[in-house]
Structure 1
Amino acid sequence: MTSQDDRHKELERRERTLREREMEVRLREMEADIRASNAPFHKTVKHQPENSSKLWIKKAILGGKLFALGVAVLIAVRIASVMAGIIIVAALTWISYKLFFESPKNKP
């Protein structure tokens, strides 16, 4: 039984040393790749802000568009409310006519 335990421990030790060697080899390969590769370098340029007058014009145009959109929405709401009022008045008038002014004698 001790021989089996000894054999098992010896196998585990060998496996551990083998894993350590494999890891060392992989690390060496990775280091060699890192050192050997000539990474391309790109020349960078500092961001130059646009001319302040151009920015002001862009903001003014955006503000104008927003104002125009607001006016269009207000006009659309106003038209919709007038149309809703007309429809409500017409419906009430028609219902009043049917209830109060149309005589039951005229019905077939």
Structure 2
Amino acid sequence: MTSESNRQKELDHRERALREREVELRLREMESNIHVNDAAFHETVKHQPENSQKPWMNKVILGGKLFVLGVGVLVAVKIASVLAGFIIVAALGWMSYKLFFESKKTNL
């Protein structure tokens, strides 16, 4: 029995060694193919459209957009504050009327 198990272990060991050698050989072949077939080096360049604007022009446009946005916000805040003032004055007037000028009915 032990000779059978020893024989099986020896076969497994040889098979593993054979697979390792095959893998090493295949890796060497792949490495040699890589070095033989070196691809040509191509330098890349940034694509520039023909009708692109100048960089300072883009900044001017962005600044103009920001200015218009700021003016729009200021106008919106001013309108909101005037509207809030009208609402507050109307609410105070209505409360004053209710408290001081509306006649109280007394049931005697």
Question: Which TM-score applies when normalising by structure 2?
Answer: 0.66
Name whichever of 65-74 and 28-37 sits farther off: 28-37
The CA distance in 1 between the partners of 2:96 and 2:58, in whole Å, is: 57
| Amino acid across the alignment from 2:56 | W
Instruction: Give the equivalent residue in structure 1 for 2:21.
Output: 21
Output the CA distance in 2 between the equivalents of 1:15 and 1:96: 103
Mean CA deviation greater in 60-69 or 32-41: 32-41
Question: Residue 94 of structure 1 aligns to which amino acid in structure 2?
Answer: W
Q: What's the TM-score, normalizing by structure 1?
A: 0.66
Structure-1 residue corresponding to 2:73: 73
**Which consecutive residues of structure 1, in runs of 5 or more, have no partner in the other structure?**
none
- In structure 2, stretches of 5+ residues that fail to align are none
**How many residues are aligned here?**
102
Between the aligned partners of 1:67 and 1:37, the Cα distance in structure 2 is 58
How far apart in 1 are the matches of 2:46 and 2:78? 51
Asked if 1:64 corresponds to 2:64, the answer is: yes
1:7 to 2:7 alignment? yes
- Per-residue deviation at 1:33? 5.4
